[in-house]
Amino acid sequence: MLALLLALSVPPPVQEPPVTREAVCRRVETAPTIDGVLDDPAWQAAEADAITDFAAFWAGEPREGTRAQLVWDDEALYFAATMTDAELRAFGTERNDRLWLGDVFELFFKPSEEGPRYYEFQVNPRSVILELRFPRRGHPFDELASEPPHGFSAVAAVDGTLDQPGDVDRSWRVEGRIPWSLFEPTGGRPAEGDSWRFALCRYDYGPEGTSPLLFSSAPLTQPSFHRYEDYGLLRFAGPSQ
């Protein structure tokens, strides 16, 4: 009887929300066309590698409604994402604006465990981009944002009406290209079998006056997308068989 009472008094284990601790970036023979349509054979070839587990891990909250893919070839890394969104909002009209003040899809990569360098990329629903090469965490934003273009490109498309509060929107999607030359400070293009630390993230803004929802594929223990200690592993794999 005592054993039963003790068992009943033990709280059930806390179930962690699903996140992406490991993922595959699949090599493709033909690069996707960056037009926001997502109908390329490259994305079909990487169908099984889609990343769908996102959360506010630090708060124990799952975040559904994001599907992303990553592929690569000799020239660049390519990404695509589709995101459900009932209130489409965007901030910023110029490259390296503070896009995170509106809906945005973000990618973070840390190619090497040695040294503090890492990279951040953003795209908003207007197809405006942000590309930052961090020599270390906490480096002044304005200094990084003033650098000349590094070659990152992306196209977004919306299913709904952007920046019209009160209507009913459905989703938005994005497709982009990051040339390996942009990663030159950490060695450039990876070799097949290499792994990088990475996180895919979102800001999702709702009605005026509400706080945005934060999403990340990584098991972040704090609400900071720059916490690369918690990033998942991205393995660069060969073509699908």
CATH code at position 136: 2.60.40.1190
Q: Is residue 192 part of a domain?
A: yes
The pLDDT assigned to 6 comes to 45
The pLDDT assigned to 15 comes to 81
Tell me which long-range contacts 134-138 makes (C-beta under 8 A, separation of at least 24): 135/185, 137/226, 137/228
Distance CA 124, CA 101 (A): 10
The whole-chain average pLDDT of the chain stands at: 94
Beta partners for 196?
234
Q: Is residue 134 part of a domain?
A: yes
Q: Is residue 146 part of a domain?
A: yes
Local confidence band at 40 (pLDDT 50, 70, 90 cut-offs): very high
Q: Is residue 3 part of a domain?
A: no
Q: Is residue 80 part of a domain?
A: yes
Q: Is residue 2 part of a domain?
A: no
Distance CA 112, CA 196 (A): 7
pTM: 0.93
Beta partners for 71?
26, 78
DSSP, res 56: E
Q: Is residue 101 part of a domain?
A: yes
Domain ranges, residue 183 = 17-237
Q: Is residue 104 part of a domain?
A: yes
Distance CA 112, CA 20 (A): 19
The pLDDT assigned to 89 comes to 95
Local confidence band at 209 (pLDDT 50, 70, 90 cut-offs): confident
Total structural domains in the chain? 1
